[in-house]
Amino acid sequence: MIKQSQGARLRIVDFLLEYLVLIAIVALILITAIVSPRFLTVDNFINLMRQFGPLSFVALGMTFIIVGGFIDLSIPGMISLVAMVTLMLVDTIGEIPALIIGLLLGTTMGFINGMILVISGASTQAKALFITFGMSLIYRSIALIITGGFPMNWGTLFEHPMPVTRTLGAGTLGILSHSFILFLFFLAVLFIFQSKTFLGRAIAYTGGNLNAAELGGIPTKRIMIFIYALCGFMTAVGAIVLFSRVSVTVPTVGTFFERDAIMAVVVGGTSLLGGKGSVLRTVMGVSLVILMSNCMNLMGVNTHMQEVVRGAILVLAVWLDHRRHERG
């Protein structure tokens, strides 16, 4: 009898750990809906969807880095540089070519991150943390140097009308915003990539046990470069979606995106230890992070207090990640 109830309790705990994010999301929606009547309005829904934009792309990219057992702090630098370079080029070479160059630039920066890790022999998350932190400073500073520190006011000061950027930033299809549709597209592609392809599985092997994967014939070095390049690409997409929403873009526009992306990935339940996780979990994580901001804004919680809550949730998520790992 006692044994059985213990077993049942264990199962409940496992269940709670597994679906904690979903439960939290539902709870958050219910509470906010009750407390603030503005929450369940169409305006707020569109607002939420737009907020979903930039962070969700970055977090999708970050998912692969974290599943691969690494981390990328260079996001703020990459976002800033991609945004600035793309916007600077629009008037000279046209909008579409500039956007393509922006995407290539993001991918290249990620590729460089990965190459540096491979060449330096950095094979741990901790080393990746410091290397990408350094790279972020470099990318961000380049963004500041080439713009002289001035913001880009593409909304009013540019000659080019930038139709693609404008529709991406404000257009809707039915009730879905364009950026959200773009997000759904990337989610579908990356989900299939992660769960069905050899490369997707190889990333998990690399994150699960780098040594074993290497000895088992998995091309771990190529995988490291690939995940950083992929993250760079997704970050570039995030950067474009980000500046599409605001007509004035400052050179430090990417600040804190690495923090929110890591938080979304980990809160979603992808393990910081590597090997385990999925882009679907990241979607839940992003939803939670954004709903939480929205909820606290609607309830009029002070900005500094919001930071306290964010910090606490990140700590809690890492803690739970560890507990889950111990439970196996």
Partner 1 sequence: MVKGNEDSESVYSGSEMLYFFMLEKGRMTVDTKKNEVILSIKNVSKSFPGVRALDDVSVAFSRGTVHGVVGENGAGKSTLMKILSGIYTKDAGTVVFDGEEIEHTTPVQSLKRGLSIIYQEFNLVNTLTAGENIFLGRYAELKGMRNIHRKARALLDSIGSTINTNKLVGDLSAAEKQMVEITKALSFDSKLIIMDEPSSSLTADELKRLFVIIDDLRKKGVTIIYISHKLDEIFQLCDMVTIIRDGKIIDTKSIEKLTRSDMIAKMIGREIENEYPERSRCVGETIMEVRDIRTRKLKDISFELKKGEILGFVGLVGAGRTEIVRAIYGADKAKELKIFINEKEVKIKNPRDGKRESIGLLPEDRKLEGLVLPFSVQANITMSSLEGITKFGFIRKAKEKDIAIRQIKNLSIKTPSPNTKAKTLSGGNQQKCIMGRWLEIDPDILILDEPTRGIDVGTKYEIYLLVKKIAEKGGSVIMISSELPEVLAMSNRVLTICEGRISGEFNPEIDSAHDIMDAAIG
Kindly list the residues in this chain that would bind partner 1 in the complex (CB under 8 A).
3, 7, 10, 196-199, 201-202, 204-205, 208-209, 211-219, 221, 275-276, 325, 328
Residue 276 beta carbon to partner 1: minimum distance, rounded to whole angstroms: 7
Residue carrying the six token digits 């990408």: 132
User: For residues 14 and 307, which CB has a smaller minimum distance to partner 1 in the complex?
Assistant: 14
CB 259, min distance to partner 1, A? 27
Shorter beta-carbon distance to partner 1: residue 157 or 192? 192
315 to each of 9, 224, 294, 310, how far by Cα in Å?
Answer: 25, 27, 20, 9
Query: Which lies closer to partner 1 via its Cβ, residue 91 or residue 214?
Result: 214
Residue 271, burial from CB neighbour count under 10 angstroms (0-12, 13-18, 19+): buried
Shortest CB 208 distance to partner 1, Å: 4
Minimum distance, C-beta of residue 254 to partner 1, in the bound complex (Å): 32
Q: Shortest distance, CB of residue 322 to partner 1, whole angstroms?
A: 13
Rounded-to-integer distance, Cα 325 and Cα 314, Å: 17
Helical axes 220-245 vs 75-93, angle rounded to 10°? 60
Round to whole Å and give the CA distance between 303 and 309.
Answer: 10
Question: Based on CB atoms, which residue is closest to partner 1, 68 or 251?
Answer: 68
Its sign, for the CA torsion 316, 317, 318, 320, is positive
Say if strands 152-153 and 176-177 run parallel, antiparallel, or are unpaired: unpaired
Q: Is 10 or 100 the residue whose CB approaches partner 1 more closely?
A: 10
